[in-house]
Every structure is written in structure tokens, then in C-alpha cells.
Chains A and B, each alone.
Chain A
Amino acid sequence: MKKKHYLFSILGIILILTTALLIYRTYFSQPEPFLSNKQIINNINYFLPGDPANKVQDVLQVDSHHFFVPFITKVGHYGTSYWVWKKHEWKIQYAANSGEPRLWQIDLKDPSTFCIVWSLNPIEEVSNIDFYLSQDRDYSINNGTEHYYSPKVQMKKRVEVNQKSYGILKLPNEWSTVIESVVKAKTEGQPSLFTEINLNQKMYFGWVPYDSSSKVATPGSKDDYAGYGYSNGNKNLEYVRYLNESELESE
């Protein structure tokens, strides 16, 4: 009788330990080295069928758990893939066979982790991109006396794309400070533990590409392929609006 008890408790302990180990491995383990180019291509083609990827342009690390991989398809489209280390596996969060700039909200609760990624067709001959964090000017008066005014925000960050037609831009510190304070003021009085950032409609990101002679480049003028993408059910990606110069305010 005693022996049986002994056996059971040992089995129990082993069971608990294996479960703990499995949970640890699945959710908390450090990422393995990133995939080889061949594995990347295979995964992309499985995820994004119809327009097979052919060549990995570059493997760009965002942080220990996130990679951005621009690629070229057999027919010559410039695609983008967003990778995340999740459940002990390198997974595609989003992939498309096009690559206009997008905001990648790595950790939805922390704007300092946000970045903008892009991959353009080199025939567009874009040499600079101006990225913008914007908010539209607005006002309202409630009950005749309660005024509300929100100023125009237009913060610019210029990126040179002479050498490479793809890239990552980590948000400047000032941008994430501004986003964070806007979100905090909006969610004031709510428990903040689980608040995810949902940029209000008024705040948005924009981009204006320029060619080497400082003229505004129109994306799609030379490569008008619109492209398509698949996402793995995530809300981490946000559009970056193509802005007209006439929408911009200046000094």
C-alpha cells in the first residue's frame, strides 16, 4: 500500500514538472536563431499562395522576438513579411506581395515599440521618404460653454532610401511620448493594466516619397500592382496614409 502511494506521488511530480516545462517552453522560451532563407521562402509560400516568393531581399531584426523580411516574388513583386516568435515557433504575423509603409505595433500597450516598415519597388526611384505623425485640427463646444480644441499635429521624420528600397523606422522618442500622452488622457480613469493602444481616428501616420530631384514621387506610377496580403488575425498593423503635399502645413 505504502509503495503504491510512493509511486503515485512520483508520477504526479513528474507530470507537474513536464507540464511546467512545456508551458515554459511554449510561452517563455528565448527565441531560436531566425530561419534560413529557404525556410523563409517555404513559409511565405505556404502562407501567401498564388504569387510564389523567389528571393529574400534581407532579414531585418526589429527586436529579439520580431523580424521583418522583404522579398521578391517570381514575377517580380516586392513583398513584405512580418515575423514573430510565438509558441516556440517563428510565425508569420502578416505577409503581402506589396510593401507600402505600415505601422507595426509590436507591443500594442507600448508605443515605444512601434515601428514603420516598408519595401518599395526600386523602379519607383524613391530616394527619400518623409514620415508623419499627424492629428487634425478640431474644435467643439458643448452646452454652449464647454470648449474643446485639439491642435494640428504634424511631426516629420525624413528617411533616406537611396541605398535600399526597404527599411525599418523605429518611432522617434518624441512621437511615442506624444502618442502615449494622448492615449493616457483618453483612457484616464480606466484601469490601465490591459489598455491597448487604439489610436483615435484623429491621430494617424502618413508618408510622402520624394525622388532624387526632390519632387514628390507617386507610388504606383511605374509599378501599379496593388498586391494583396494575408494576416494571422492580428491588430498590430496600421495603415500609413499617402499624404498629398497640399495636405501639409509648413513653417
Chain B
Amino acid sequence: MFFIIHFVYDYNLASLITVAIAWICIGILTYHIYKKQKIKPKIWKVFIILAVGFVSFSFDINMLHTKVKIPIIPLGVWLLYLYFRKKEVRWQMYRRFAWIGFFANFIFLASTLASVPIYNAMYPENELSTYLAKVKNPAIIQLHPSAKNDSLNGNFVKIIKQMKPAEMHSDEWFNGTVTMKMKQKDRKEKFPYQLTGVVPEWGSDIEPLIYMEKDGKGLLITSHHKQYYFRSNQSLLKGEN
């Protein structure tokens, strides 16, 4: 859209770190210019000029599966220039800070782009530990009448560590259950449990939804608006061993 003030959209650790670095860069840059400049404006005025200079005309595009803002027109700098048109000396004093304000848009843009690979390295999407790092009060909820009145295996934590990514066959899962011949009351659910009381990796800012397969050997995880499937050799259910 038009006048964009940068907010932190993602509260994951990777974004917070890169945004913090962006702020430090802007701070250093400003300080550097301030020191170099012979006529020094008041500090609080510098902050205002920075903020106004930050205002820009930008548009959103998707890069690396992330929405980023590309600033194009330095609207704030332009406004400041209009304001200081007749005040040449003062404009010379503030000009650089106004441009730092605009340039800050690019620093934030870079920080957003940098946060993506950092996030992926910190929280690999194909590792179960990203979604299931700690157990708080692990339990299962029966979502379907075909679920057994079972509970979690005592070796639950150990088995989870050995689970491997597996291929999803959602079409087969669906069509194996929903057929013309099979009456609704005979349909059994492949994922009749939900796993609760587990905590994702710290700082990942995700809230995964975890279904468990009827044999207790598979976990189907919904996160990042995608799904991930993990299997083990041993069942996570008590009754299946």
C-alpha cells in the first residue's frame, strides 16, 4: 500500500534478531553522519527527520515465500525538501538524515530477506523437533468414534526422536475411506487422534496442529499452512505394543 511504517510482522526469533540488527545499523549510520557533520541539529529533531524520511511509496511483492515491501518513491524526503525549500542552510543540516530515513526501508527489507534462510536453518521444516521440541503434558484426544480408548506409550519421547519424514498420499488416504460402496457408518478414520501438550521449538512462533495415525506410528502436522508427515517403526500408543 502507500504509506507504510515498518512493523515487525513476525515474532519469531530469526526476524527479531535481524530486525534488531537493522535498527543497530540505522543507529550506527545516523551516529556516523551526525559526528561528521559540522553543524549539528538537535537530537530529537534528527529522530523526527528520520521518521518522516522513512515514509515512502512502496509496493508489496513475494520473495522467498515472504511478503516484502519494495520502497520506490522517497515521499518523506520529498515532503521535507518542500518544507525546507526556502531554508537552504537548515536543509543542508537535515538532508542526510532524511535520506537515512528512506534508506532504512532498504535495511529493513534486507533484514526481512536475511531472516528467511536464518529461520529455515534454525527451524528446519523437515525435522520433527521443530514442531515437537518439548513435552509439557502429552496426551491424545480421540477425534473419531473409531479411535481406541488408548493412551501414550511410556517411551513416547524416545520414539519421537527416531521418527523420519515420510511421503504423504492424501488422495489414497481419502479414497481408501470414501468410496461409493462404503456406507458412511463403516468409514474408519486414518488419523483419529490429536496429540496435545507438546511444545514447538522455542522462538519458532508456530502453533502446529498434530494428528496421530490409528496405528500410533504416524504424525501428521499442520504448520506454515502446509502439512508434514512423520513415521516411526514403533507405535506411540500403549495398546499397539
A residues touching B (Cβ–Cβ < 8 Å)?
137-141, 146-149, 151-156, 174, 177-178, 181-182, 184-185, 188-189, 191, 245-251
C-alpha spacing A189/B141, complex, angstroms:
25
Number of B interface residues, CB 8 Å? 42
Assess the B220–A154 pair: CB atoms within 8 A: no
Looking at the assembled complex, report how far the CB atom of B223 sits from the nearest CB atom of chain A, in whole angstroms. Answer: 7
Q: Is the CB of B143 within 8 A of A178?
A: yes
Contact between A250 and B170, CB atoms less than 8 A apart = no
**Besides A249-B145, A251-B146, 10 other A-B contacts (C-beta < 8 A):** A141-B171, A151-B190, A151-B191, A178-B194, A188-B207, A189-B224, A248-B184, A248-B185, A249-B144, A249-B185
With A174-B141, A249-B146, A251-B145: A139-B173 Cβ-Cβ less than 8 Å: yes
Residues of the B chain whose Cβ atoms lie less than 8 Å from the Cβ of A185: 207-209, 222-223
Asked whether, in the complex, the Cβ of A181 is within 8 Å of the Cβ of B207, the reply is: yes
Which residues of B sit under 8 angstroms from A178, Cβ to Cβ? 141, 143, 194
Name the residue of chain A whose CB is nearest to the CB of B172.
A139
Number of A-B contacts (CB under 8 A): 104
On whether A137 and B174 interact (CB within 8 A), knowing A148-B227, A249-B145, the answer reads yes
CB of A151 within 8 A of CB of B211, answer yes
Which residues of A are found within 8 Å of B177, using beta-carbon distances? 137, 152
- With the chains together, A137 CA to B224 CA distance in Å? 20
B130 interface residue per 8 A CB criterion:
no
Contacts of B178 in A (CB 8 A): 137
Q: Which 9 A-B pairs have the closest CB atoms?
A: A147-B168, A185-B209, A139-B170, A149-B170, A184-B207, A151-B191, A147-B170, A139-B174, A153-B143
8 pairs across A/B with beta carbons < 8 Å? A149-B173, A151-B144, A174-B141, A177-B141, A185-B223, A246-B184, A249-B187, A250-B145
